[in-house]
A and B are shown apart, each in its own frame.
Chain A
């Protein structure tokens, strides 16, 4: 079974981002960029499926700038077999990304597509669901367990009230939640080997996909700052403040 994994290049999760002075966006000059943490989990899950003998080939795809090749090489070092970059310097919306991924799905015909549930930059949580709609596939979002058996996959999902398990006909889309697995680190020999694995570069035009958008970001601002309050010396003082000053208990 062929598995397609989509990954996104985003600002590293340890970076404290700052809004640009002209409110046009956040300042990404000279900040560390990494693979989106949920996408790392997606790659890991695909690699585990291959180790179990369920997956036969892992294709990793990213939609983004030329530099996203770094994240694709990381995925190759972790165990993906080959990579596709759909190169676009523009910041694309989730729908545009889903349309490009749909074109790649049509081309590659995977049985399972695994994506992160959300990117930690735009925090949209849309792409997997949109790809599922465009492909007409079933979706198992926010997965904490994925079990492929025959022509279906059972996905346990993290939902607000606990956990839900659904059975999906293959081909299907899965989006990962935090507790699906713990991603491994790439070993040095694998990093070296990854440099020789195939990486194909495509463009939205070549795929015949329009990336126009109905959303326009007018401005980006820093959130209202919350200032630190006071330190209390004892539990008794805390209770007194909560009762008489804040009046919340």
Chain B
């Protein structure tokens, strides 16, 4: 049994979610190979070879794979997949974009966002915004799977010494092209990898007030997130959204500020180790999942919290 993990990478570095995906592959068992597809990704391939537990790294370096266009990357993965028992990718926006295309090309059902490995063919995954957990068994010859990073502890990024092999296959469907990208710039930790996350909701009232959360986050070394309500209201950009359809986080400490706690938001953060809720409405559903609840005006509580930590 050999498993192919599709590496997630950005700016010449392996994205942390790749390490959680390798961890899921290790749970399944067997040899683990990693595919790095992109343009000018030699250093990414070298970094992938150092990931603990990886036996071989395949590097497909071609202009067609720049920007991870699914029309080009999916045929590459589908072509390589025939030699593998499982193909895994992180359930990031990239993984979600590419993997179903791979599964359809292979004529198999995909298993999305697994949170645990029960056996080599059986997996658990959340459905209904995490209000139910399904156990799914796959009879596919090649199992195509996306992995929810928070379900698996990352393997070490160093310590391995895998062989690196170039893949010559070039697939350019010529159906799509990259136009532009607007990436959020932040000096704070990445939301899905941060140990502490401070999130704001509708209670923040406007985007300017998020400065209170940024100040607190910088004191704690935390990332800043938001509820869908805050994003929809235009307070902050969409890449900060935590929830069923945004990012799934499970930090050591999650501080929800002015967030009522809709089930769609809880779906994105309820696996956090410790949850703190600050809300002036003591009936807010967020208090039902919070380890520590503080009924208070956030505009008084947050600055005070910032001073005391």
Contact = CB atoms under 8 A, between A and B. Distances in A.
Nearest to B289: A226
A124 interface: yes
Contacts of A163: 181-182, 238-239
Nearest to A142: B93
Interface string B93-108: 1101111111111011
A133 B126 contact: no
Contacts of B270: 226
> Size band of the A side of the interface?
35 or more
Contact of B93 (A130, A134, A159): A159
Contact of A26 (B98, B101, B128, B263): B128
A229 B135 contact: no
A21 interface: no
Nearest to B245: A178
Interface string B273-294: 1111000001000011111111
A215 interface: yes
Contacts of A179: 231-232, 238
Interface stretch (B28-36, B152-160, B170-178): B170-178
B304 interface: yes
Contact of B100 (A17, A129, A136): A129
Interface in B174-213: 174-184, 192, 196
> Size band of the B side of the interface?
35 or more
B128 A218 contact: no
B50 interface: no
Contacts of B92: 160
Given A166-B177, A242-B253, A235 B308 contact: yes
B135 A218 contact: yes
A137 to B, nearest CB: 7
A216 to B, nearest CB: 5
Contacts of B132: 17, 19, 26, 220-223
Contacts of A120: 128-129, 244
Interface stretch (B38-46, B56-64, B66-74): B66-74
A183 to B, nearest CB: 13
A246 B274 contact: yes
A214 B138 contact: yes
B166 interface: no
The SS class assigned to the B binding surface is: mixed
B112 A231 contact: no
Contacts of A223: 126, 130-133
B10 interface: yes
B112 A125 contact: yes
B133 A222 contact: yes
Contacts of B192: 160
B114 to A, nearest CB: 12
A154 interface: yes
Contact of B109 (A95, A121, A134): A95
B287 A141 contact: no
A158 interface: yes
B48 interface: no
B136 interface: yes
A202 interface: no
B127 interface: yes
Given A129-B104, A239-B308, A123 B126 contact: yes
Contacts of B252: 248
Nearest to A223: B133
B169 interface: no
A13 B296 CA distance: 30
A26 B108 CA distance: 25
B134 A217 contact: yes
B228 interface: yes
15 contacts: A121-B127, A128-B100, A132-B101, A139-B97, A142-B93, A144-B238, A160-B92, A160-B247, A167-B179, A178-B245, A214-B109, A215-B136, A215-B138, A218-B137, A232-B292
Given A95-B103, A129-B100, A157-B93, 6 more contacts: A124-B112, A131-B104, A160-B192, A165-B180, A166-B69, A229-B290
